[in-house]
Structure 1
Amino acid sequence: MKYAYWIITGLLCLMLTVSAGFYIFQNAEVASEFVKLGFPTWVIYPLAAAKLSAVAVILLRKNRVLVEWAYAGLFFNILLAAIAHITIADGEQWSAVVALILLMSSYFLGKKVRPF
């Protein structure tokens, strides 16, 4: 079970890091997608910073409260992204659904494998 946790958490953190990098380095493309989804473009850089911060908190696991907040923030971010894509019916919700499955799996396996 420990290996499953680390594989799933690694995939989740990789997905979030790539997403944050895309937000930073491909800002024009991301901004056009945010406009299509009806979100303000000023939120792109704070979201990238939040995703990278959440990855660090999840991997380091130094403070239980921060870990819970990181998982909760990512849950709402990913869930709302999936809902936004479903709402405009662009068919791009599947990466968010996969990320949500990885997030939930990492969270619940982490409770069993890495107790505080």
Structure 2
Amino acid sequence: MTGNYTYWISTALLSLLYLASAAAYVAKRDWVRQALADLGYPGYLVPVLTVVKILAVAAILSRISVPLSDLAYAGMFYHLLLSGLAHIGVRKPGGALPAAVGLVLLVASFATQNLARDIPSPDALAMAAQQATLN
């Protein structure tokens, strides 16, 4: 039961983080372009990242396909990791805080997804733990 709550709370917070970020990309397009330029990234990434963030949340919440959901988790992992490292690389560690929080939420969501979902992911950590306790 705790795993179910952990999954849904962490997934909801992670989804809100990503959807709020996508909304900021739309509402503050010029500011976001400048922020990405300050990190050394091209401005054309703004619309791409906006769409990808929304699709990643949709893939995880809808779980139309387990492999697609796991791919969305992987994409989020790399995005959050690279985002945090980019902020640290330009000596702005405060900007890495949302990425660090996102990584914690992502790990919690991914690790507990099999406890809350009907169709298990073969890649989730919780499945390996469950099978270890059964054997």
TM-score range relative to shorter protein = over 0.9
Q: 1:66 aligns with which of 65, 68, 82?
A: 68
State the Cα distance separating 1:112 from its structure 2 match. Answer: 2.9
Q: 1:105 aligns with which of 99, 103, 108?
A: 108
State the Cα distance separating 1:115 from its structure 2 match. Answer: 4.4
Listed one character per residue, the Cα deviations across residues 1-34 of structure 1 (whole Å, up to 9, x for unaligned) are: 2112111100000010000010111011111110
**Partner SS for 1:93:** helix
User: Structure 1 CA distance, aligned partners of 2:5 and 2:77?
Assistant: 23
Q: 1:85 aligns with which of 69, 84, 87?
A: 87
State the Cα distance separating 1:102 from its structure 2 match. Answer: 0.5
> Residue 6 of structure 2 contacts residue 108 of structure 2 at CA under 8 Å; is this kept in 1?
no
Give structure 2 stretches of 5+ with no counterpart. 120-135
Structure with larger RCO (C-alpha < 8 A, sep 6+): 1
- Aligned positions, number: 116
Aligned positions of 1:49-64 closer than 5 A = 49-64=51-66
Q: 2:8 aligns with which of 6, 31, 35?
A: 6
TM-score (norm 1): 0.96
Identity of aligned residues (%): 35
Name which one, 1 or 2, has greater alpha-carbon Rg: 2
Give structure 1 stretches of 5+ with no counterpart. none
**Partner SS for 1:31:** helix
2:46 matched residue in structure 1: 44
Aligned-residue CA RMSD in angstroms? 0.9
